[in-house]
Amino acid sequence: MTKFINPFTDVGFKRIFGQEINKDLLIDFLNSLLEGERHISDIHFLDKEIQGESIEDRNCIYDIYCTDDNGEQFIVEMQNRRQAFFRERAVYYLSRAIARQGERGSNWQFDLKAVYGIFFLNFQLESIGQKLRTDVCLEDRDTHEPFSDKLRFIFLQLPLFDKEEHECDNNFERWIYVLKNMETLQRLPFKARNAVFQKLEEIVDIASLSKEDRMKYDESIKVYRDNLVTELYAVQKGLEQGLQQGIQQGLKQGIQQGIQQGLKQGIQQSQADIARRMKSKGYAAAEIADMTGLSPEAIAAL
């Protein structure tokens, strides 16, 4: 029987990382993600929906949107399904967060705060490499010198994490291990190393959910599983169509090759028959070769 919630559902993900009362969990994860770069002491959750500048503009709705004690912003998203232009959407989301920092009037000097986009991907994203973590920033193409630290994208391809519990070397890997395996675990590991995992275990225990929260979670898990089934069906249909097209193309090519081979064999057989008849009537080998195109060796073997 499942003991812990699925963190990849909308309700599960936001229960772990999107609650003010449990913001120490998100702080700990962000610090493990950015270890050696910076340390976050506190965060404040922001409105997850950014309104468009006009009625025609599209709104941005983030999973989690927060700012730290230095004013830098973090957009944290869980993505379970592939979608067209996902990387472009990530650029748009962070760009909107940058743009809304602008202030009216001529006194503002473009004093921007950095915006980080952290994207949990429950699939492999094409063209970003076969690795768990991909960091994207603004830098010189040739020298790789940083150009600006105001935009930072971090993509986490969870299917590419394959470490076992005892192989996790740092707090970031421990977080990824727990999130990826949570639904199958009967206890959360690493509690002795980091007290935050003890609190996490209490929060994600299904038995700790209120009746209302359990109803929301059950609906969320249904949506999650429906999406998986829909994607699996699309993949299977794609494979079936590809196989069918391959078979049809193969048959078509086989038929064409068969016709061509048959014609070739027919022509060769006809040439041999003519050569035999000419040979039986006493024609010289040179004349037979000239009329049929057969080699002297082939004619001699008839």
Per cent of the chain over pLDDT 70 is: 81
Specify the range with the lowest mean pLDDT, choosing from 103-117, 262-276, 284-298.
262-276
CB 158 within 8 A of CB 120: yes
User: Residue 298's pLDDT is what?
Assistant: 78
User: Residue 225's pLDDT is what?
Assistant: 75
List of long-range contacts for 223-229, beta carbons under 8 Å, 24+ apart: 223/9, 223/10, 224/6, 224/8, 224/9, 224/10, 224/80, 227/80, 227/81, 228/80
Given a cut of 50, is residue 58 above it in pLDDT? yes
- φ, ψ of residue 124 to 5 degrees: the values are -95, 130
Given a cut of 70, is residue 51 above it in pLDDT? no
- Average pLDDT, integer, range 13-27: 94
- Average pLDDT, integer, range 140-151: 94
User: Residue 148's pLDDT is what?
Assistant: 94
- Tell me the pLDDT band of 56, cut-offs 50, 70 and 90: very low
Residue of higher predicted confidence among 202 and 287: 202
Given a cut of 90, is residue 176 above it in pLDDT? yes
Specify the range with the lowest mean pLDDT, choosing from 40-49, 240-249, 277-286.
277-286
- Tell me the pLDDT band of 94, cut-offs 50, 70 and 90: very high
- Average pLDDT, integer, range 203-208: 92
Beta-sheet pairing, 64-68 with 43-45: antiparallel
Q: How many helices (H) and strands (E) does the chain have?
A: 8, 8
User: Residue 286's pLDDT is what?
Assistant: 72
User: Residue 18's pLDDT is what?
Assistant: 93
- Tell me the pLDDT band of 54, cut-offs 50, 70 and 90: very low
Handedness of CA 268, 274, 277, 279 (dihedral sign): negative
Please tell me whether the overall predicted TM-score, pTM, comes out greater than 0.75 for this model.
no
* Buried b / exposed e along 163-182 (16+ C-beta atoms within 10 A): eeeeebeebbbbbbbbbbbb
Residue of higher predicted confidence among 219 and 56: 219
